[in-house]
Structure formats: C-alpha cells, structure tokens
A and B are shown apart, each in its own frame.
Chain A
Amino acid sequence: MESIKLKAAFLYPDIFCLNGDRANITALSNTAIKLGVDMQIDRINLPDEMIDFASYDIVYIPSGELKYILMVAQALRRQKDRLQKAIESGTIFLLTGTSVALFAEKITRDDGSVYEGLGLAGYECRERATVYGDDLIFSATVFGEEMNITGCQIGMIDTFLNEGTAPLGKVLYGYGNHGKGDEGILFNNCLLTNALGPVLIKNPWLTVAMIKQVIHNNNMDVALPALSWPIEESSAKKIWEFIENKEKPKR
C-alpha cells in the first residue's frame, strides 16, 4: 500500500475566518490523521502572494466580510489563470459563507455599487440590506456520496445562479442561496456553501468524502479505514429535533 501524502492550502485566515472557520483546518488535519493520511497544510496569509494552486489537493477559503472579499477578489485577479488551471486539474476548493462571492461573476453591494468577482462560475451575489441568520440543513451528493450537511448561515448576500450552474445541494431547512430551495454551487471539484463556521467538524462525512476524492484524483490504490461519528450524528439529530420544534420564520 502506498503512503498517502496530501497537500492543502488554508487561504487568508487573518483576513477572513469570521465565524470560527479555522476549525475546519483542524478538522481536516484530525480526520486525515484518523484515516492514516499525511496532510500537509500550508497557511497563506497574503492575497498579494502568488500561489501555485494546482500543486494543492484541497484549498479552503473561510467566510469573510464582503469589504475584504472585494479586496481579495481584486488582488487574486492577477492570478486567475492559476486558479482556473487548478480548478480544471481537479483541485478541491471549499468556500464557506460570504466567501462564496469571491468566485462570482458580479457582486452588487447594498448601496448599488457593482464589483467584479473572479468570474470562475456562472452566478452573481447581491448584498442583503439586512442580515439573515438561521440554521441550514441541506442534502447533497458530494463526490458520489449522498449526505446531509448541518450548519448555520449568516446571510449577508443572496446568490443567484445562471442557467446551467448547478447548486451544491437542496435545502431541507433554512434559506440557502436566496430562499428558494437551492443551496451553494458545485462545479468541477469546487464546493461553495452558505454554511459557515465549523462545517467540517459538524459534518466529518464531508471531510472524508473530500479526502477520498483527492485519493481518487491521484489514482492511489489505498483502502481507508471506516470511521464512525457518534457525537456528530447525535449533534445533527438534536439540531433537527430543535428545528422541528422551533417557530418558523415568515419570509
């Protein structure tokens, strides 16, 4: 059996990481260890730094404030070709929360000003006049595995997909992209979700699916151990129970 060495990048933790999102990096690292995978994680602090995105198996961009997302989008524009190359070569990108706006074609702020996103997929984001915070549970098929994802959404933007752009999943409870049932965006191996905070801690099955996909991408011949997640499953059950009993918002 081959020894498994993977490489991940954690982008701009000091600028983003608004909602405890750094937990996703420790989740990735801890889950990799449990699976017997050697995961090297590089921390990248500056959007001005040129990055060989294609050299990474996984790139994580945590949630951030729209003001800084616009700044980062502008800084990353000069290495858009590197991002595109990585996406086409199968690098997994995980974007959580408002950072979804980074890959958008267009971002419209609440004051009507319009900004270019990186335009890596067909959708646009519009800043909301008010915040919408709620639980978010959605079903998705991620790298061939069906799963439910449990999280929270602090909606600062509404996201509208162009025809032909696929959502990541279907909302079971919550708001999602703009309250109409679709959640996130899925293209190539890019997973973009409105869920934020410790998504990979609460949903370790997503973490495992990502690592398995990297192994598949690299044509490695390995059998990963089966892991069980009793606490995380209990958490998801409890949160569903809470949602069933709570007063539902009027939208």
Chain B
Amino acid sequence: MRFRIELFLGKAIIWLISKIAPNKGTSFPGKIINRLDEKFLGQFRGIDNEKVIFVTGTNGKSTLTNLLFHILKKNGYNVVANLEGANQKCGVTTTLMKNASMSGVVRGEYFLFEIDERSMYQIYRHVKAKHVVVTNIQKDQVQRNGDPDYIVRHLERVIDKDMILYLNNDEPRSKAFEAMSDDVHYFGVDENDFSYQKTGQWDISMPCPRCGRPVEFSFLNIENVGKFACLFCGFASEKNPEVSVGKIDFTLGRFYVEGQSFEMPYHVPFMLYNYSAAIAVAKNLGLALEDISSAFATFINIGGRIETLRYGKKDIKYIRIKQENPETLQSALDSVAADNNEKVFVLGLYEIVDFVPHYTNTFYAYDCDVSKLIDSNVKKYICFSEYVCYDTALRFINEGVEPEKVMILPTKDAREIFKAALEQDCDNIYLITWLKTFQEIKNFVRQDNKQQ
C-alpha cells in the first residue's frame, strides 16, 4: 500500500513538472520518492531481470543507450529506457515511475538503462541486470571519480559471473572485467584512416590493469583505445572479437561487420565504439545483422557535437565538450585539427562548478595532444573565461605557440568573446566550450540577430 501511495505521489510530481517545466524532471521526482523510501526502486513489478540492460562506463553511455533503444524500437520491441542522461538512482526511479501503471507494473520487452558508473551499486541493489555493457573506463570528472581504479572498484562490487558482459576489446580497463564473468562478448574497431600511433617523446600510454606495467598499443582509434598488448603479463585485445567494426570509410560514411554494411550516422572516430557495442548487444539479443543495420540509417543522436552559429556574416562552428573529460576535449580538438584551412580557434575552459568546493582544474587539457591542432593553420587562439583563461593560454604557449598568437580574455561575456573572434581577419571560426556557456552564447546570438 505504501508503495502505491508513493508511486501516486511520484506520478503527481512528474505531471506537475511536465506542466511547469516540460524539459525538466528527469530525476527530481525520483529523488523525492527515494528520500521517502530508500527501497522504493526495488518494488516495481513486471521487470524481467533477463531483459534488463545496463550501459555504464566513462564515455559514450548516452549515445550508446539511445542507439540501442533506437535499434530495438525499430525492430518492434517495447523498450523502457532513460534516454535523457539521468543515470543515477533518482533518474532510473523517475523512468520507472513514468512507465509504471498505478499498481506499479512496468510493461516492457526490454529495460535499458544508462547507469552512472559510481551509482551502479546503489541501483543494482534494487534492479538486477542480466546484460551489462562497459563502454570504457577512463579519466573523467576527477573531483567525483578520483582515478579510473576508483571506478573499477565501484563496478567490481556489482559485476558477477552470472552477468552477460559486453566489453570493449580495445580498452584495457573495460576488457579486464572479463575475469569476472563466464559470459563475455567483446566489441572492437579495426584500424582505419583515423587510427594513429603515439610517437612523441613525452606521449604516454597507460598501466596494464593486470600487472601495472605499460600497455603497448599497435594502433589507437581514440585516446588509449586501440589494439593493445601487455608484453609483461600477456593481457591483450582478443584477436577475433565477436564484433569488430571494419572496412571503415569515413568519406562514404559506411562500415562493415561480418559482410553486412552499416551506414554511419556520424562520421567521427569516437562514435565507432558506440556502433560496435550496439551491434554486439543487439546481435546477442537475437537480432539479425541486416535488421540492426537498417536501424542505423535512421538514427539521430541527442545533442550532436557540432553546431553552427550564424552571427553577422560569419559562421561559428561549435563543438561541445564535457569539462574534466580529456577524451571529449581531445575529440573536439581533433575535429578542429582535421580542417587545415586558416582558422580562429576559440577555447573556453571553465572552473569546475559540479559541487562545492568549486575549483579551477584545467589540467585535463594536458592529457590532450594539441600538436595536431597547432599544425593545422591556426591564425589566432582566443582563450576566454573569467578565472582560468590564463591557464588555458598556458596550455598552448607551453606547447610552443608564440604568445603573440594567443589572445587572453578574462571574461564570460558573450558579446566580448564574439567581438574578439569577429575582429580577426578570418571567416573560419571554431569554438570549443562546455554546454552551459554555449547555451548562453547561443541566447546572446539569437537576441542580437533579432535586434539587427
């Protein structure tokens, strides 16, 4: 009875939020109800644990969850999923409340959840998952996550031998979970036009999760993800993973798995692992490659990474990053570096305002390789933000960029930032910053364009 009253209250909160702020409320209702009853999440009925899929890891969770949802829906399945990125206990609770009947029954053929890697233990206590995907375990949000091993230990509390694990064959920390289950499916990506090797004097690899000695990559597809081997203990990528995305043609936007062609919804290297993981899961759930492929052609990702803003007579190409996440910054830098035309490069790293204490971490920028960007014909670097713009500038100056080429703007004022970018005698402008600042800039551009 208590559960039904709480569920009714939760649904009422969801309804209320949908009326006053339709875009909000993906986790708040769950937060309130979980406070009232810590065990609430475990009392929904109708959830077959064999049909529950958790997608966890550092990068790619949201995209992979959305892609898998799309594949399953396109193939006629009824799927309950948290697609808006609310991936902690309160987000999962809210999703289930939204999809439950008044008596608490949730009807779905599959239950697909993006799960925050630190929250998996809290969720798994209430909702068991047969299928678990670990996309990758990398450096991210160090104020929360400390270091990758801290996250590995969080996941090890949950993962057991009865789970079906989907592991990244090219990412050592993800692959190292293989020892914990009897049923492992590997996904990977073949060498392609964007694969690379690290040859710089101070380039770094990573420690082997098994023995701690340096891992060697024969090629990398993205930072610390590629075919690897530890020459000391033998831990290595499988030679023949179950799914390997191959014959990758970025120009045509196509790749192949076991002879089946797939259209790439987005032609960028970091997406290839999402494609590979989605195919591995869908295939193991019994879908034919042909049916999986047909869904790829119509997939649209939530919040694509590149957006163009028109201001005056100039286009500004925006690429989104997550702060404190070197992989997203590296991908963004690589996207800019792929354009060898003369350009103005505008970078707004900000202080970290996740929770108190806020702090001024920009050191993740030093985990990124900026040499390709520097070699890509940058006419002017503009580093802005109120407090850490000087640190951002130092990243480039320390790498050999002449200080005269770097403009430092200690401001968050969109007008000043735009004025500086537009004053440069160059029409090719790239902007990288986090989403919050970009939204502010976008609002400014919209209003200013209206006034003109």
Q: Which residues of A come within 8 Å of B, CB atoms?
A: 10, 13-15, 17-23, 25-27, 30, 43, 45-48, 65-68, 71-72, 98, 131, 133-135, 152, 154, 156, 196-198, 201-202, 231-232, 234-235, 238-239, 241-242, 246-249
Contacts and interface: CB of A to CB of B under 8 A. Distances in A.
Interface string B343-363: 000000001100011111101
A238 B410 contact: yes
A132 B149 CA distance: 16
B387 A239 contact: yes
A45 B359 contact: no
Contact of B142 (A19, A23, A43, A234): A19
Contact of B364 (A10, A20, A232, A241): A20
B212 A231 contact: no
Contact of A131 (B143, B390, B398): B143
Given A201-B398, A234-B390, A249-B357, A154 B204 contact: no
19 contacts: A15-B213, A45-B214, A48-B213, A65-B148, A66-B147, A66-B149, A67-B149, A68-B212, A131-B142, A131-B143, A133-B143, A152-B359, A156-B147, A197-B363, A201-B394, A232-B394, A238-B387, A242-B351, A242-B360
Contact of B147 (A18, A201, A202, A232): A18
A131 B351 CA distance: 18
B388 interface: yes
Contacts, number: 149
Contacts of A13: 202, 204
A18 B206 CA distance: 9
Interface in B253-295: none
The interface centre, meaning the residue of B149, B326, B358, B391 with most chain A CB atoms within 10 A of its CB, is B391
Contacts of A14: 204-207, 214-215
Given A19-B139, A26-B399, A43-B201, 5 more contacts: A45-B214, A48-B213, A66-B147, A133-B359, A234-B390
Contacts of B215: 14
B146 interface: yes
Contacts of B144: 131, 133
Contact of B146 (A17, A131, A134): A131
Interface in B207-233: 207, 211-215
Contact of B398 (A23, A46, A98, A133): A23
The 9 closest A-B pairs by CB, nearest first: A20-B366, A197-B363, A133-B143, A14-B214, A235-B390, A131-B146, A20-B363, A71-B212, A23-B366
A190 B397 CA distance: 28
Nearest to A199: B363
Contacts of B399: 26
B124 to A, nearest CB: 20
A72 B357 contact: no
B394 A72 contact: no
Interface in B151-201: 201
A17 B149 contact: no
B387 A154 contact: no
Interface in B350-390: 351-352, 356-361, 363-367, 386-390
B366 A249 contact: no
B201 to A, nearest CB: 7
B357 A246 contact: yes
Interface residue SS majority, chain A: mixed
A135 B142 CA distance: 13
Nearest to B368: A20
Contacts of B397: 231
Contact of B357 (A45, A46, A135): A135
A18 B205 contact: no
A237 to B, nearest CB: 9
Contacts of B148: 65
Contacts of A152: 359-361, 363
B92 interface: no
Given A15-B207, A66-B149, A247-B357, A20 B213 contact: no
A250 to B, nearest CB: 8
A72 B212 contact: yes
A246 B206 CA distance: 35
A23 B398 CA distance: 8
Contacts of A154: 142-143, 146-147
Contacts of B352: 133
A231 B390 CA distance: 6
Interface in B128-156: 139, 142-150
A45 B204 CA distance: 10
A93 to B, nearest CB: 19
B317 to A, nearest CB: 26
A134 B358 CA distance: 7
Given A67-B212, A135-B360, A246-B357, A198 B143 contact: no
A131 B212 CA distance: 22
A42 B303 CA distance: 45
A135 B215 CA distance: 32
B214 A46 contact: yes
B403 interface: yes
Contacts of B359: 133-135, 152
B233 to A, nearest CB: 12
B363 A198 contact: yes
Contacts of B393: 231
B408 interface: yes
B360 A239 contact: yes
Contacts of B358: 242, 246-247
Nearest to A153: B359
A242 B350 CA distance: 11
Contact of A65 (B147, B326, B357, B398): B147
A205 to B, nearest CB: 14
Given A15-B214, A234-B390, A249-B356, A133 B351 contact: no
B212 A15 contact: yes
Nearest to A70: B212
Given A65-B148, A231-B403, A248 B394 contact: no
Contacts of B211: 71
A231 B408 CA distance: 9
Given A20-B363, A20-B366, A231-B403, A65 B390 contact: no
B199 to A, nearest CB: 13
A241 B214 CA distance: 40
A202 B142 CA distance: 19
A37 B387 CA distance: 33
